[in-house]
Amino acid sequence: MELSSILQPGARAPEFALKTTPDQKLALSDFRGKPVVLAFYPADWSPVCSDQMAVYSQIIDEFRRHGAQLLGISCDGVWCHLAFARDRKLAFPLLSDFEPKGDVARSYGCYDDAAGVCGRALFVIDGAGKVAWSYLAPVGINPGADGILAALEDLSESSSRPRPQQGDRS
């Protein structure tokens, strides 16, 4: 899996609806109009994934300050996600890309066929549903949140800039 294989900025983010519980789904379109952070990760309970998700939960207010919704996505099942989220006290939804396995990860270019799991990929999706920023981290390294926060800051700045009025030549 190479960085060039994941969706790049400017691409339309593929729509999806994934389970968060056995009887509830969340769709990307549920958050249209606000930024969404997608954090694909290989597996609940693995040390690096546990650390990564804990970092995001600890700084959830930073994401919220930008009006962004964080969604964790892996191929683990909903029951595994629910136990993991409860045990780690995660403050954001985990979505199950379980059936068909890795379908959403594949659409974002971050499914690792050899390992049978999601790659450790991050996406910031703007309110219009386009990829604003993406990053594929090595599987054994926690990418942290600096890149995500910088991308959210850029989105906030670009949305607060005055837009030229019709007829303006600026």
Cα→Cα distances 111→34, 101, 115, 116, 136, Å: 25, 9, 9, 7, 11
> How high is the pLDDT of residue 5?
87
Q: CB-side exposure of 146: number of CA atoms within 13 Å? A: 3
pLDDT at 91 over 70: yes
Could you count the other beta carbons within 10 Å of the beta carbon of residue 107?
15
> How high is the pLDDT of residue 127?
96
Let me know: does 74 contact 40? Beta carbons within 8 Å.
Answer: yes
CA atoms 133, 17, 77, 4: torsion sign: negative
> How high is the pLDDT of residue 95?
98
> How high is the pLDDT of residue 71?
98
- In angstroms, the first-to-last Cα distance of the chain is 42
**pLDDT tens, 5-40?**
899 999 999 999 999 999 999 999 999 999 999 999
Residue closest to 18 by CA, chosen among 78, 58, 67, 87: 78
Active-site choice (49, 75, 110, 118): 49
**Residue 4 or 16, more confident:** 16
Domain parsing of the chain, residue ranges: 3-159
On the question of a cis peptide bond just before residue 93, with omega within 30 degrees of 0, the verdict is no
- What number is the average pLDDT over the span 91-115? 96
pLDDT at 167 over 90: no
- What number is the average pLDDT over the span 101-119? 96
Active-site residue 49, yes or no? Answer: yes
Name the fold adopted by 3-159: Glutaredoxin (3.40.30)
Three-state secondary structure readout of 102-126 = CHHHHHCCCEECCCCEECEEEEEEC
How far apart CA 120 and CA 138 sit, in angstroms, is 7
> How high is the pLDDT of residue 151?
97
Cα→Cα distances 163→35, 77, 160, 167, Å: 19, 44, 9, 12
